[in-house]
Each structure stands twice: as C-alpha cells, then as structure tokens.
Amino acid sequence: MKKRIFFQVIVIMMILFIWNCLHLGYNYQNRLYEAELSDSPMILICSDLKPLQNLKTALDTTSIVQYTVLEKDSLIKRNLLETYQLNNAEALLGKFNVPSILKIYFRGVEFSAPQKRELETFLNTSYPEVIINYNDTFWQNSLEKIALLKKAYFYSNLFLAVFLLITIVFLRLHFEMKNHEYWRVFVRAGGKRKVRHLRFFLHSLWLCVVPVGLNFGAYFIAMRQHYLPVEMDIRYFPAEGIFVIFSVILSRIFIGKHF
C-alpha cells in the first residue's frame, strides 16, 4: 500500500513540476517580449527644441512611458562628427540647422493599441511640427506575439488543471478499488470500519501536502542558488494545493458508497 501512495505522490509531483515550469517559462518569455518592445523607442524629430522639452516633461509622468531621452542638435552634431570622423567638416556642419530628437521608451505591453492611438492623436493635434518615427510593424508583431503567448499560457493552464484533476481522481479510484477486497476482508475479519476512512484521509493528506511541498522546496532552493532567470508568484503553490485537495475530495465523492 505504501508503494501505491508513493507512486501517486510521484505522479502528482511530476505534473505539478511541469505546471510550475509552465509558469516560469511564461514569465521568462513574456519578459523577453516586453524587453524587446521596450528597447524599440519612438523617435520624435523637431527642428525646434522647445516642443520636445515640453513633451518630455509631459510624457515622463505617464504610466505608459518607461523613460525618455532628449538629444539636442549640438549633441547630434558632435555624434555625427565622431561617428563619421568629419573633423574637417565641423565649420561646415555648424552652418546647418540640425533638428533635435526625443526618444521615448515605452513600458512593454502597457503601450497597446488604444494608448498608441491616443498618443499619436495628441502629438498630431498639439505638436503638428513634430515628426514621428516609429517601427509600427515591429510593435504590432510584438503585441501579437505577447497576445499569442498569453493565450497559449491560458490554454496550457486549463489543460494541465484538467489533466491533474483526471489523474488524481483516476489514481485514487483505481487504487481504492484495487484495495477493496483487502478492506472487505479486513472488516469481515473484525477490523474497524473507521480505519479505512482514517487511512484514506491520511493518504489524501500525503497527496495534498508532499507534492506541493516538494515543488515549493525545489523552487525555493533554485531561487536561493540563482538557478532561475525569472521568479514566479509563490501564491501559485497554495493554489495548487487547494486544487489537489479539491481533486481528492472529488475522488472521495466518486468512490461514494463503494467505501
């Protein structure tokens, strides 16, 4: 009987491990996509510095913007001279009016379609002189990838929850039915009926506590040893425990009168 419980603990632990890997994998990939999105700035070009300075002040306080970088015309000129080694052309370049630029770095997915539309409308109406340069295709693709990832994450969670539920119910039913003859003889031989109920409760307790506990322990050690590139919300662990308890209760209901 101990072997059977051990087997059930291992199976549930493995499924929970896969489930936790899914959370970690999602967090990792999502962070990657968001970082890509944040790394691609919107560039506002204007020959006059004043509107860009005003814009910087206004945008720095909004939630969609991570940070902004204002590059003045003098800085751009110097960059040009250094990059292309145009030391001899310094006097010539001084005669030209080089525009200033404002780079806006967004906070990943928070800069979604409505926010983008709102910002573009605001810029076009309030600052018509500002030229907007932004890689719309990349932004669109990134948002689609993130949306797809979320969808895949949701369905994977659903699948794993159903799979875990079916597995626990099936395992509990299977092993209880397999032990049915033993318990029949046990009662006929003078054994107390409540022993079976007590044993079922104790085994259920093992199934609810040990796999979740071991998974949490493994996660805790991995975090402490810096093996994981991302963290996961530790509230997932009690949630998984509650789900296992629910599955065990369901299996007890299914066993019902056969007990």
Partner 1 sequence: MLRIEHFALTPGKIRVMVIEEMQIANGKKVLVFGDNQVGKTFFLQAVHGSHSQYAGTIQYKGKSNFFKKKEASILIENTAHVIPGETLWKNVTIPFGKISKRQKIKIFELLKSVDLSEKIGQKQQSLSVSETKLAELVRAVIQLPHLILIDDLDTYFDEKNYLKAMNILQYAVSNGTIVLATAKRKLELFDDYYREQDKKVVKL
115 burial level (CB within 10 Å; 0-12, 13-18, 19+): middle
CB under 8 Å to 68, separation ≥6 — which residues?
56, 59, 60, 102, 103, 104, 105
Minimal distance, residue 236 CB to partner 1, in Å: 37
Minimal distance, residue 198 CB to partner 1, in Å: 9
Among 117, 151, 184, 258, binds partner 1 (CB under 8 A): 184
Neighbouring-strand partners of residue 133: 43
DSSP secondary structure, 104-173, as one string: EEE-GGGS-HHHHHHHHHHHHHH-TTPEEE--HHHHHHHHHHHHHHHHHHHHHHHHHHHHHHHHHHHHHH
- State yes or no: residue 186 binds partner 1 (CB under 8 A): yes
Residue 133 amino acid letter: N
Of 195 and 234, the one with the shorter C-beta distance to partner 1 is 195
Strand order in the sheet with 100-106: 65-71, 100-106, 42-46, 131-133
- State yes or no: residue 189 binds partner 1 (CB under 8 A): yes
- State yes or no: residue 185 binds partner 1 (CB under 8 A): yes
CA 173/CA 6 separation, integer angstroms: 16
Give the max Cα distance, the chain.
108
Interface residues for partner 1 in 208-237 (CB under 8 A)?
none
Among 191, 213, 229, 238, binds partner 1 (CB under 8 A): 191
- State yes or no: residue 239 binds partner 1 (CB under 8 A): no
Among 85, 97, 137, 181, binds partner 1 (CB under 8 A): 181
Q: Look up residue 98 and give its DSSP letter.
A: P
Q: How many CB atoms lie within 10 A of CB 160?
A: 17
* Candidates 53-61, 185-193, 209-217, 225-233; binding stretch for partner 1 (CB under 8 A): 185-193
How many residues bind partner 1, per CB under 8 A? Answer: 13
- State yes or no: residue 187 binds partner 1 (CB under 8 A): yes
Minimal distance, residue 219 CB to partner 1, in Å: 36
* Candidates 101-109, 120-128, 179-187, 208-216; binding stretch for partner 1 (CB under 8 A): 179-187
Of 35 and 187, the one with the shorter C-beta distance to partner 1 is 187
Answer yes or no: are the C-beta atoms of 16 and 212 closer than 8 Å.
Answer: yes
- State yes or no: residue 193 binds partner 1 (CB under 8 A): yes
Among 188, 224, 226, 235, binds partner 1 (CB under 8 A): 188
- State yes or no: residue 190 binds partner 1 (CB under 8 A): yes
* Candidates 7-15, 58-66, 189-197, 242-250; binding stretch for partner 1 (CB under 8 A): 189-197
Name the site residues for partner 1 (rule: CB under 8 A).
Answer: 181-182, 184-193, 195
